[in-house]
Structure 1
Amino acid sequence: MAVGNDLPQARDRHRPGGDPERQPPYPSGWFFLALARELTPGRVLTRRLADEDVVLYRTADGRPYAVRPYCPHLGAHFGAGGTVEGQNLVCPFHHFAFAPDGTCVSTPDGRPPRAHVEHHTIRERNGFVFGWYAPDGKPPAWDAPETAPPEVRATASWGTEIHAPAQELAENSLDYRHLPVVHQVTLKELDPPQAEGPYLRTRLRLGPAGPGPLTRFQVDHSFLMAGLGCLRIEQPLPLLGVVVYLWALHTPTAPARTRLHLAAACADMRPARTAARSSLRRPLHRALARTMLRLAVGKVRDDIPIWNAKRHEPRPRLTVGDEAIGLYRHWVRQFYPTP
Structure 2
Amino acid sequence: MTTTDDPSQTGARRPVRPAGAVPAGDGPALPAPSGWFCLALSRELARGAVLTRRFADEDVVLYRTRAGTVRATRPYCPHMGAHLGYGSTVEGESLVCPFHRFAFGPDGTCVSDPDGVPLRTRVNHFPVLERNGFLHIWNGRDGEPPAWELPAVPGPQVRPTAHWAVETDTHPQEVVENIADFRHLGTLHRLAVRQLSPPIADGPYLRTNLRSNAGRIPFFGQLSWEESTLMAGLGWNLTELELPHYGLAVHLWGLPTPIGPWRTVLRVAAACEVTDPRRVPGLNLPAVRAALTRAVARSTLRMTARIIRQDVPIWDHKRYEPRPRLAAGDHSVGVYRHWARQFYPPGPPTGHDPA
- Under TM normalisation by the shorter chain, which class is it? over 0.9
Determine the structure 2 residue equivalent to 1:78: 84
Determine the structure 2 residue equivalent to 1:45: 51
Residues 58 and 259 of structure 2 are in contact (CA less than 8 Å); yes or no, is this contact kept in structure 1? yes
Are residues 1:64 and 2:97 paired?
no
Are the structure 2 counterparts of residues 17 and 96 from structure 1 closer, same or farther at C-alpha, using a change threshold of 3 Å?
A: same
Partners of 1:156 and 1:208 in 2: how far apart? Answer: 20
Deviates most, 275-284 or 105-114: 275-284
Determine the structure 1 residue equivalent to 2:258: 252
How far apart are residue 146 of structure 1 and its match?
Answer: 2.2
How far apart are residue 266 of structure 1 and its match?
Answer: 1.0
Residues 50 and 88 of structure 2 are in contact (CA less than 8 Å); yes or no, is this contact kept in structure 1? yes
Alignment match of 1:161 (pick from 167, 176, 196): 167
Give 3-state SS (helix, strand or coil) of 1:136's partner.
helix
How many residues in Structure 1 have an aligned counterpart in Structure 2? 333
How far apart are residue 8 of structure 1 and its match?
Answer: 2.2
Alignment match of 1:304 (pick from 312, 328, 331): 312
Determine the structure 2 residue equivalent to 1:330: 338
1:9-59 Cα deviation digits (max 9, x unpaired): 245574602444562121111001111111110010111111111111111
Question: Matches of residues 144-155 of structure 1 in structure 2 within 5 Å?
Answer: 144-155=150-161
Are residues 1:9 and 2:17 paired?
no
How far apart are residue 191 of structure 1 and its match?
Answer: 2.2
Structure 2 counterpart of 1:332, one-letter code: A
Question: Matches of residues 81-120 of structure 1 in structure 2 within 5 Å?
Answer: 81-120=87-126
How far apart are residue 158 of structure 1 and its match?
Answer: 0.9
Partners of 1:257 and 1:72 in 2: how far apart? Answer: 28
1:81-104 Cα deviation digits (max 9, x unpaired): 111111111111111111111111
Partners of 2:31 and 2:221 in 1: how far apart? Answer: 41
Structure 1 counterpart of 2:105, one-letter code: A
TM-score of the aligned structures, taking structure 2 as reference length: 0.88
Determine the structure 2 residue equivalent to 1:285: 293
Identity %: 50
Alignment match of 1:201 (pick from 190, 197, 207): 207
1:189-236 Cα deviation digits (max 9, x unpaired): 112200000000011001239xxxx99731111110000001111011
Residues 40 and 135 of structure 2 are in contact (CA less than 8 Å); yes or no, is this contact kept in structure 1? yes
Are the structure 2 counterparts of residues 323 and 215 from structure 1 closer, same or farther at C-alpha, using a change threshold of 3 Å?
A: farther
1:259-286 Cα deviation digits (max 9, x unpaired): 11111111111489xx974454122222
How far apart are residue 7 of structure 1 and its match?
Answer: 4.9
Structure 1's unaligned 5+ residue stretches are none
Structure 2's unaligned 5+ residue stretches are 348-355
Residues 247 and 277 of structure 2 are in contact (CA less than 8 Å); yes or no, is this contact kept in structure 1? no
How far apart are residue 149 of structure 1 and its match?
Answer: 1.6
Structure 2 counterpart of 1:125, one-letter code: R
Residues 83 and 92 of structure 1 are in contact (CA less than 8 Å); yes or no, is this contact kept in structure 2? yes
Structure 2 counterpart of 1:282, one-letter code: A
Alignment match of 1:221 (pick from 206, 227, 232): 227
Partners of 1:266 and 1:215 in 2: how far apart? Answer: 16
Give 3-state SS (helix, strand or coil) of 2:101's partner.
coil
Give 3-state SS (helix, strand or coil) of 1:264's partner.
strand
Partners of 2:277 and 2:93 in 1: how far apart? Answer: 37
How far apart are residue 165 of structure 1 and its match?
Answer: 0.9
Partners of 1:271 and 1:35 in 2: how far apart? Answer: 29
Partners of 1:277 and 1:146 in 2: how far apart? Answer: 28
Give 3-state SS (helix, strand or coil) of 2:212's partner.
strand
Partners of 2:206 and 2:14 in 1: how far apart? Answer: 32
Structure 1 counterpart of 2:230, one-letter code: L
Structure 2 counterpart of 1:235, one-letter code: L
How far apart are residue 304 of structure 1 and its match?
Answer: 0.5
Residues 17 and 317 of structure 2 are in contact (CA less than 8 Å); yes or no, is this contact kept in structure 1? no
Structure 2 counterpart of 1:253, one-letter code: I
Are the structure 2 counterparts of residues 283 and 208 from structure 1 closer, same or farther at C-alpha, using a change threshold of 3 Å?
A: closer
Residues 227 and 335 of structure 1 are in contact (CA less than 8 Å); yes or no, is this contact kept in structure 2? yes
Partners of 2:122 and 2:214 in 1: how far apart? Answer: 55
TM-score of the aligned structures, taking structure 1 as reference length: 0.92
Residues 125 and 145 of structure 1 are in contact (CA less than 8 Å); yes or no, is this contact kept in structure 2? no
Structure 2 counterpart of 1:236, one-letter code: E
**RMSD of aligned C-alpha atoms?**
2.2
Deviates most, 200-209 or 261-270: 200-209
Are the structure 2 counterparts of residues 215 and 202 from structure 1 closer, same or farther at C-alpha, using a change threshold of 3 Å?
A: farther
Are the structure 2 counterparts of residues 216 and 81 from structure 1 closer, same or farther at C-alpha, using a change threshold of 3 Å?
A: closer
